[in-house]
């Protein structure tokens, strides 16, 4: 049994993977559509959080495939505060990271006039 310390308790990774494997494809249908259209979807638009992305990314990929998204998929996180799934053939990791940084730290981005 694999566990990860999360907050006050421990999270069973096997249970987490099992729950993702049992999710219906409809749970990520909108996110899969966004990925097809834009090539990028933020964690807040998915049913997943930090622990999911760090512990069961293969299961998340399989769920998106069951939802009809059959392109490459990768994930980038910014400081553990935000994550994004993206199509690596359309986005560079540094582009996704900049987008996440702008969302997390709006004052850090230069003002473009």
Per-residue pLDDT of the chain (113 residues; tens, 9 = 90+): 444 455 555 678 999 999 999 999 999 999 999 999 999 999 999 999 999 999 999 999 999 999 999 999 999 999 999 999 999 999 999 999 999 999 998 775 555 54
- Taking Cα atoms as reference points, which of 108, 102, 47 lies closest to residue 78? 102
User: With a threshold of 0.75, does the pTM exceed it?
Assistant: yes
């Amino acid at each position: 049994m694999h566990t990860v310390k999360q907050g006050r308790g421990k999270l069973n990774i096997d249970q987490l993977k099992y729950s993702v494997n049992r999710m219906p494809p409809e749970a990520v249908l909108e996110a899969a559509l966004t990925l097809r259209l834009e090539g990028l979807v933020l964690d807040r638009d998915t049913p997943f959080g930090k622990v999911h992305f760090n512990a069961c990314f293969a299961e998340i990929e399989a769920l998106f495939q069951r939802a009809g998204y059959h392109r490459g998929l990768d994930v980038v996180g910014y400081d553990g505060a935000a994550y994004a799934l993206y199509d690596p053939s359309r986005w560079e990791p540094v582009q996704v990271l900049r987008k996440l940084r702008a969302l997390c730290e709006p004052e850090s981005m230069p003002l473009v006039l």
